[in-house]
A and B are shown apart, each in its own frame.
Chain A
């Protein structure tokens, strides 16, 4: 633990001017209890030791397929295998619970997310994803044009978003209040550019930005955008409005954990374009629930629970002449599984540590799959923060602080229509200011991170200290893949998507962006590859 003064800590996370102010105010505030939860960072790091493992002969078994990793990709693959009547597989999960970054917690009055917390309603052509939603009875029907209609109670309830700026809350994410004529002109111009990309089609009729990303155009006119940062693109297109730049920066921090000058222009525009059907229509609505994407995790798990083994540290994956041997640490015992095929549904950067022989002849450069770090805090409140002004826009689903480096918080009770009494707020903080964000993050303890979170929120809610009864914190060392310039369209994805000696990779990393839809796509792709092979 590095020792820092409180002011130094707050300066790092919240910026100097605010830290000065926060430190001046009284210290005698109640401080809630809580702890660091989840993620077995130390377990994961056993992988890096690269030793050999001898499995006792009695501890070997045979399975046709092993899925390594129980995040959305692994669960989707398992779900697909099961749905196709294929049952001779096992899913090995490192943690005590499946879900990966879609993990969630159970509690009163409602559950709450630890990571991903919504899914935009898919377009009708994403038939596989729609069949999942159908199976979960989230759908009500289809509209005249064939697009699905999601049941009202699963669509993000209004009021959806608000932004806190100079002491007050305003509706929406783009700060419209006090915008100058030039701000408005630039915002309209930005919308126009987005619209033109929404309508853009290549010679083969493909969209510039589509979900899953596999359906995007590879035309150089679009992929060229991947060579520069989003900030550079904004500058080249004459966008200087502070609030517009903030809005774009917020977008990339929110979806990719990167600032606009770190994310590629391609992913920046992807955020704004990929969920809009055609110009002039609203972006696709969000499917959400108190536990966020935990609802999908729970559904998958229900379907495949018999095939899931939790707390399994896969220490070695050994390609053989007959197939693949998987060796894992189950508690203190080493176990081995002879498999025909493996679906490797773990972050790509782990491949060289786990797959034997990978390093000697790497099929792709795994170290190019770089992840960024986040911390997520769940605050358990005994009551709602009091509105400070009668005309303040009320508590919403997503609540963003304009002047903060955090992403603000989502309200777990919102979707259930529980508008009074206790609630859970989930606070998100991407470590994108610091080039060594991950190392930095793990240098801080619970108390320090809780202090950052409470101090940050106290600018909008001075009563947060009295209201918060507990604050738990998850440090995500490898939260999501970083789509920096020259990554997504560099050709590495195609290489990594190819099976390597009976090992099929399936992870959202392979799309270069961390999205439920991408993880799902790759999970299904790998499952289909394996099923196809078996027949």
Chain B
């Protein structure tokens, strides 16, 4: 064989690629599933075991070893190369993620486990056994070192997981193609040609994926979180993720941040207390639509006059999340255990339409932003008209209405929709560092003056007399736009279209 030393270079690359795939699988799974100790431990264990299985299986390959070796390399290139993007996608779209993850790790491990024994057998005629074992295994471990150093220092920060995966797949395939020349005497000309064609196809597929990697990233890494994931739950309605990082706990629904514990009090104080300030007399009955995290409840429960709180949230898994994650229970001061709270799980639109209830003094409406039609209906004239049946003439209502800075038309579309449904509206906004500038609507069914001060009998961290007055001031870049905005109705869903246009500018 003409180039035995070059074949040893081959060993290093194979070893590097093999370890990279293993690290990728462990990293992806600890990103998306959390608990990195368990994930790394399981993945390494399964991977090493699969390599053992591969090594054992190598005994059953008797003929055309060189050709089979290259085939295996190309297979590893495809499966390993696509492993990270595939895992991200399956996590986002498939429920049985674990099965796919471990099957993939097992297959890659088995194939990688086949490689070294086969290569050693190819080389066995060239070197004596002592020399062969020492060189191949030494280089194998060098490759592992290269991979484990490169991976955290260079590859993950610079390339990201998807690109790393695809790039090493390409490297793996290139080595396979190269080997068709290195092992020339052992392969017939025709077979070598076929292998080269296969190799080029694999390279091309991986290259296309690499070029399109940005697109893959937005598809899959949408769900990628900076902080450690401590809880995930896929309910029939949404994917709930809780992370813990330096700044505190954060909750995501379908990848969208709902709050971060370090500044959520700003949001929830701004959401709840203006409604109380605008109500004349003692507040007894409060309706909360959305707000399954219990944080708005925490603020409401500060008022001793409140006797009854009805919370309607779509997702039972959401209203249970604060018992599942003790830190969140502490954050909302166990607001769901307050006997005044009554929880109904259902779509607020259907609830308003179908369920009779005595009117409420205050309604706090805290839905996710209107990024789809099922949510858009919760901001429609029909919805606000249905809400009226649950209000008294002097009830006050607060609605979270997305960012007037990022989605200015959406924000003012909601104001107009409320006005056209017969409400007097006082828009206001505040700053929540995790979100940016955030907007709300304070509304009543009768004319009213905007409240001047926060209620005095409750303890507040954020709102004081000065900030309270400034809530209702809109800087020029967030004030009502000059264009004629549409009213959001069920039969036009104008808001969803505004929202999509405005937020799309901020997507990758």
Contact = CB atoms under 8 A, between A and B. Distances in A.
B298 interface: no
Contact of B493 (A153, A158, A418, A420): A158
B347 A152 contact: no
8 contacts: A152-B380, A155-B489, A155-B490, A157-B490, A157-B491, A159-B373, A160-B491, A420-B347
A419 B493 CA distance: 15
B333 interface: no
B93 A158 contact: no
Nearest to B386: A153
A152 B381 CA distance: 8
A159 B493 CA distance: 8
A372 B314 CA distance: 45
Contacts of A160: 491
Nearest to A156: B491
A155 B380 CA distance: 13
Q: Please indicate which of the listed interface residues B314, B372, B373 has the most CB atoms of chain A within 10 Å of its own CB.
A: B373
A390 B93 contact: yes
B353 interface: yes
Given A383-B236, A390-B93, A158 B353 contact: no
Interface string B481-501: 000000001111100100000
A170 B377 CA distance: 20
Interface residues on B, range: 20 to 34
Contacts of B151: none
Contact of B489 (A152, A417, A418, A421): A152
Interface string A353-367: 000000000000000
B349 interface: yes
Given A158-B493, A383-B236, A394 B382 contact: no
B219 interface: yes
Contacts of A383: 236
B357 interface: no
Nearest to B493: A158
B93, B353, B380, B490 interface centre (most CB from chain A within 10 Å):
B490
Contacts of B376: 158
Contacts of A153: 382, 490
B236 A394 contact: no
B133 interface: no
B373 A155 contact: no
Given A157-B377, A390-B92, A152 B236 contact: no
Contacts of B92: 390
A285 interface: yes
Given A157-B377, A158-B373, A417 B350 contact: yes
Given A394-B372, A417-B377, 18 more contacts: A152-B381, A152-B489, A153-B382, A153-B490, A156-B491, A157-B490, A157-B491, A158-B492, A285-B491, A390-B92, A390-B219, A416-B353, A417-B350, A417-B353, A417-B490, A418-B347, A419-B373, A420-B374
A419 B346 CA distance: 11
B237 A420 contact: yes
A424 to B, nearest CB: 16
Interface in A143-168: 152-153, 155-160
A420 B314 contact: yes
A388 to B, nearest CB: 8
A432 B45 CA distance: 62
Main SS class of interface, A = loop
Nearest to A158: B493
A420 B93 contact: no
Nearest to A160: B491
A421 B381 CA distance: 24
A420 B347 CA distance: 8
A158 B347 contact: no
A223 to B, nearest CB: 35
Contact of B374 (A152, A155, A416, A419): A419
B373 A394 contact: yes
Interface of A: 152-153, 155-160, 285, 383, 390, 394, 416-421
A418 B380 contact: no
A391 to B, nearest CB: 9
Interface string B349-374: 11001000000000000000000111
A371 to B, nearest CB: 33
A61 to B, nearest CB: 45
Contact of A419 (B347, B353, B492, B496): B347
Nearest to A388: B93
Contacts of B349: 417
A153 B236 CA distance: 26
Contacts of A155: 489-491
Nearest to A418: B350
Nearest to A394: B373
Nearest to B95: A386
Contacts of B496: 158
B146 to A, nearest CB: 37
A416 B493 contact: no
Contacts of A418: 347, 350
Contacts of A157: 377, 490-491, 493
Closest 3 CB pairs of A and B: A158-B493, A419-B374, A155-B491
Nearest to A389: B93
Contacts of B93: 390
Interface string B219-235: 10000000000000000
A109 to B, nearest CB: 9
Contacts of B219: 390
Contact of A417 (B314, B347, B372, B385): B347
Contacts of B492: 158
Nearest to B348: A417
Contacts of B314: 420
A152 B382 contact: yes
A285 B374 CA distance: 20
Nearest to B377: A417
A157 B382 CA distance: 11
Nearest to A415: B490
A153 B492 CA distance: 12
A419 B238 CA distance: 13
A421 to B, nearest CB: 8
Contact of B490 (A158, A390, A421): A158
Contacts of B490: 152-153, 155, 157-158, 417
Nearest to B314: A420
A118 to B, nearest CB: 12
Nearest to A393: B373
B331 to A, nearest CB: 27
Nearest to B382: A152
A466 B456 CA distance: 57
Contacts of A394: 372-374
A66 to B, nearest CB: 41
Interface string B375-411: 0110011100100000000000000000000000000
